[in-house]
Structure 1
Amino acid sequence: MAKQPMLKFISVERDMPEKREAGVRREDFHEIYAEYASAKAAEQASRCSQCGVPYCQSHCPLHNNIPDWLRMTATGRLKEAYEISQATNTFPEICGRICPQDRLCEGNCVIEQSGHGTVTIGAVEKYITDTAFEEGWVEEIEPIADRAETVGIIGAGPGGLAAADWLARAGVKVTIYDRYDRAGGLLTYGIPGFKLEKDIVMRRNEQLERGGVEFVLNCNVGEDITFADLREKHDAILIATGVYKTRDLQGPGSGAAGIVRAIDYLTASNKASFGDDVPEHEDGSLWAEGKSVVVIGGGDTAMDCVRTAIRQGAKSVKCLYRRDRANMPGSQREVANAEEEGVEFVWMAAPKGFTGDPVDGVIVQRMRLGQPDASGRRSPEPIEGEEYTEEADLVIKALGFEPEDLPTLWGQDELPVTRWGTVKADFRTGATDMDGVYAVGDIVRGASLVVWAIKDGREAAQAMLERFDMASASVAAE
């Protein structure tokens, strides 16, 4: 009888790829995890229990066929594993690197719940697609038809890119308009290289370009071209702008020099990684070397900021968060990585004001957790009389993002938005009440995950194709 290749979660322990030593990795912006060797990837994949109800799959927004590609990996059938993986995910090598697996697939792994340690799903997913690129298994975009329809996509982030890939393969002519000089959105300019090296993103952009997708960069809709002109030019429009407006700080001194937005800080750092000239690094305004840095916030963006400041040579880096560790929204794995690299977390602390201009300190208000709010999370409350000042030469606001006022920016009062300012669209198709206009990703959901944007982009693209086909059928019937 052939040896059972799976169900090894009792005899084989969970084992992540080797992580570079903290003292070494804090000196550069390279990814911190090494690649699995073939045997190690197969060994870890073999720990999958092949359970009848795969909660890992049901808790993945893309509903990736995780048990199937784990089985293929365990049995050495890597090309088949890749084919299964890419069937549901446009960018599996990116999701394998940056998805918060501890909150999604791995956090809901059945063997994790039974105490044996989750399967290293994300690391295997990354390994499969990296291997596919190395072996030449990743096929170029070849349209299955020559269609007449054109689609204009506003925003070259993960939602827009995923939709472009789906549409281009169907034969639709796609043009992507983006305000930045490189495509990728937050994948390019928001997420640091130690989590996602930029050649990974550029490789996908180049694949789309070779597949016929046109990129119009350094283009601000509403300034360089109007939304009305885009609607006139294309058969359908997809809004995939993301959300970039930073939630602001209040309190005395909040307008002082040296208090900066996370998106500006991370964009400058990522531009520098491309070799671009970054004046804000030259003048020190977005550069942490030798400074006492305080990052305010507890999400993944805050984690990106503190770990970037460490690599820039900050004298000290502290993260203030108003709740405790258990209630922070960011990945616990990222918190652990940050602590290893020298970041200090100050829990149950919120900024009350700032001293100096340029800033030289943060007035910190000690907090406690009170009663649960409407979401079920315990609300932070100030502790009367518990205040102190934290030294700070650079304060980075990482308080989350809100949508820009698109109806005003684009002169489109009829563009439907919610009371939160997000675009109102059908969550299944991305369709808005404006004929031929769709919206996906964070501009619909609010600040969310890359994997949700990919899902939304694919589904909206499919909805567009069905709309085009219905229109063609109607014309043919007349």
Structure 2
Amino acid sequence: MAKQPMLKFVTVERDMPEKRAAEQRREDFNEIYAEFAQSKAKEQSGRCSQCGVPYCQTHCPLHNNIPDWLRLTAEGRLKEAYEISQATNTFPEICGRICPQDRLCEGNCVIEQSGHGTVTIGAVEKYITDTAWEEGWVLPIKPAQERAESVGIIGAGPGGLAAADVLRRAGVQVTVYDRYDRAGGLMTYGIPGFKLEKDVVMRRNDQLAQGGVTFELNCNVGEDISFADLRTKHDAIIIATGVYKSRDLTVPNSTSKGVVRAIDFLTASNRKSFGDAVPEFDSGALNAQGKRIVVIGGGDTAMDCVRTSIRQGATSVKCLYRRDRVNMPGSQREVQNAEEEGVVFEWLSAPKGFTEDGGKVSGVMVQKMRLGAADATGRQSPEIIEGADYVEDADIVIMALGFEPEALPTLWDQPELEVTRWGTVMAEFTSGKTAMNGVYAVGDIVRGASLVVWAIRDGRDCANAILNELATPKQVAAE
């Protein structure tokens, strides 16, 4: 009788892939975790309890069939595990690296709730798909039949690319328009290489291109081509621009030289890793080397900034957040990694302005806070502690306060494109359909700044809604 490969959580402890020493990983932008070996992936997958109501699957935005691919991995059936993983997730190797599993699948694992330590779902997902690439199981898209209809997608981030993948598999002609010179959106230019290696994103871009997706890069809609022209050119349009407008602080000296936006800082660093010419980096304006860095914010973007600053050779890196550690929105795993690498967190601290010397920032005027009464959502609101102000010295201050949508109706001269009071595009839940005929919207431009996995979910749902709306497939006329 074959040995039972599952339910080993009582006898086998949770074990993550080995993490490189902090002193070593401070020196480069490489992935901080090693890969699982096959035996270790089998062992850790075998800890799954195969519960009747899999909360890991329920709390995954994509509802990935996690118990099934864990079982297949435990049985050594990796190709089948990959096929099940890929069936619901366009980019499993990316989600395995950057999803906040501690808040989603792993955080809701049944054996975690019972005190045995969660299954390392993200690490196994990454292992399965990396193995699939190495073994040649990931193939270019080959539709069974081409269709005449075309869809234009504005934005080459995770939402737009996920929609492109689903539509191409159905034979639809897809063109993706993006303002940058490489596809991937924030996966390419916003997330540092130590969390998401750039070759991982580029190979997915290449796979889509090989499968027939057309990329129009360095194309700024509203300038290089009008939105009205795109609607004429395509049967449907998907708006997947994301949100790139940085939130600012209206405090004294906020425009001082050296007060920079997180997106600018991260983009400069990522461009440098591609070998691009980056004058702002070379001049030191967006380079932390030898400088005292203060990052303001408590989300994952702030974590990316502090950990990038460490790797660039900053003399000190501090993160100011107005609430405490328990109430910060960023991943606790990322905070731990940052602390190991030398970042100092100043909790319950908020900026009230900046000091400057000759027009250049020299410090942050900090107000100490305490958590007061809970608001309507149950979250405690920070209150100022009078007389506890101080100045935190800084050579560069990085503002990581989140992102807001650009004013698309104005930028694209489309006043009929309905937006919410927050500036996000109004679209139907699940389908992404807007009030404009044939126009859809997905991802952060609908939700506000959110997770990559939610953008993938939106892109897939929208593509399937479009396929339901489109006419019966027609054979493309011969060239």
- TM-score (ref. length: structure 2): 0.98
Alpha-carbon distance between aligned partners in 1 of 2:142 and 2:472, rounded to the nearest angstrom: 23
Secondary structure in structure 1 of the residue aligned to 2:360:
coil
1:321-332 equivalences in 2 (<5 Å): 321-332=321-332
Amino acid at match of 2:42: A
Query: CA-to-partner distance for each residue in 1:329-377, whole Å, 9 max, x for gaps?
Result: 0000000000000000000000011001210000000001111112221
1:378-457 equivalences in 2 (<5 Å): 378-457=380-459
Q: 2:460 aligns with which of 458, 461, 464?
A: 458
- Cα RMSD after superposing both structures: 0.9
Amino acid at match of 1:365: Q
1:228-243 equivalences in 2 (<5 Å): 228-243=228-243
- Residue 386 of structure 1 and its aligned partner are, at CA, apart by 1.2
Query: CA-to-partner distance for each residue in 1:361-416, whole Å, 9 max, x for gaps?
Result: 00000001111112221111111111000000000000000000000000000001
Alpha-carbon distance between aligned partners in 1 of 2:240 and 2:33, rounded to the nearest angstrom: 30
Residues 354, 363 of structure 2: 8 Å contact kept: yes
Which residue of structure 1 aligns with residue 18 of structure 2? 18
- Residue 113 of structure 1 and its aligned partner are, at CA, apart by 0.3
Alpha-carbon distance between aligned partners in 2 of 1:469 and 1:111, rounded to the nearest angstrom: 47
1:43-442 equivalences in 2 (<5 Å): 43-356=43-356, 357-442=359-444
Alpha-carbon distance between aligned partners in 1 of 2:269 and 2:254, rounded to the nearest angstrom: 23
Residues 296, 399 of structure 2: 8 Å contact kept: yes
Alpha-carbon distance between aligned partners in 2 of 1:317 and 1:250, rounded to the nearest angstrom: 23
Amino acid at match of 2:67: P
Alpha-carbon distance between aligned partners in 2 of 1:375 and 1:185, rounded to the nearest angstrom: 32
Secondary structure in structure 2 of the residue aligned to 1:365:
strand
Unaligned 5+ segments in structure 1 are 473-478
Query: CA-to-partner distance for each residue in 1:77-119, whole Å, 9 max, x for gaps?
Result: 0011001000000000000000000000000000000000000
Query: CA-to-partner distance for each residue in 1:146-185, whole Å, 9 max, x for gaps?
Result: 1000000000000000000110111000000000000000
Residues 302, 400 of structure 2: 8 Å contact kept: yes
Secondary structure in structure 2 of the residue aligned to 1:359:
strand
Residues 147, 473 of structure 2: 8 Å contact kept: no
Alpha-carbon distance between aligned partners in 2 of 1:191 and 1:146, rounded to the nearest angstrom: 35
Unaligned 5+ segments in structure 2 are 475-479
Amino acid at match of 1:386: A
Secondary structure in structure 2 of the residue aligned to 1:176:
strand
Amino acid at match of 1:397: M
Secondary structure in structure 1 of the residue aligned to 2:388:
strand
Which residue of structure 1 aligns with residue 28 of structure 2? 28
Alpha-carbon distance between aligned partners in 1 of 2:305 and 2:313, rounded to the nearest angstrom: 13
Alpha-carbon distance between aligned partners in 1 of 2:353 and 2:134, rounded to the nearest angstrom: 52
Alpha-carbon distance between aligned partners in 2 of 1:442 and 1:153, rounded to the nearest angstrom: 14
Distance 1:384 1:470, change over 3 A: farther
Alpha-carbon distance between aligned partners in 2 of 1:469 and 1:10, rounded to the nearest angstrom: 54
Question: Displaced runs of 4+ in structure 1, greater than 4 A?
Answer: none
Residues 288, 313 of structure 2: 8 Å contact kept: yes
Residues 306, 317 of structure 2: 8 Å contact kept: yes
- Residue 428 of structure 1 and its aligned partner are, at CA, apart by 1.1
Secondary structure in structure 1 of the residue aligned to 2:152:
strand
Query: CA-to-partner distance for each residue in 1:22-63, whole Å, 9 max, x for gaps?
Result: 000010000100100000000000000000000000000000
Amino acid at match of 2:182: R
- Residue 471 of structure 1 and its aligned partner are, at CA, apart by 9.6
- The answer to whether structure 1 residue 8 and structure 2 residue 16 are counterparts is no
- Residue 470 of structure 1 and its aligned partner are, at CA, apart by 6.6
Alpha-carbon distance between aligned partners in 2 of 1:234 and 1:281, rounded to the nearest angstrom: 39
Alpha-carbon distance between aligned partners in 2 of 1:375 and 1:187, rounded to the nearest angstrom: 31
- Residue 299 of structure 1 and its aligned partner are, at CA, apart by 0.2
Which residue of structure 1 aligns with residue 477 of structure 2? none
Alpha-carbon distance between aligned partners in 1 of 2:377 and 2:173, rounded to the nearest angstrom: 43
Secondary structure in structure 2 of the residue aligned to 1:125:
helix
- The answer to whether structure 1 residue 40 and structure 2 residue 40 are counterparts is yes
Q: 1:467 aligns with which of 466, 469, 475?
A: 469
Alpha-carbon distance between aligned partners in 1 of 2:144 and 2:162, rounded to the nearest angstrom: 17
Secondary structure in structure 1 of the residue aligned to 2:142:
coil
Secondary structure in structure 2 of the residue aligned to 1:10:
coil
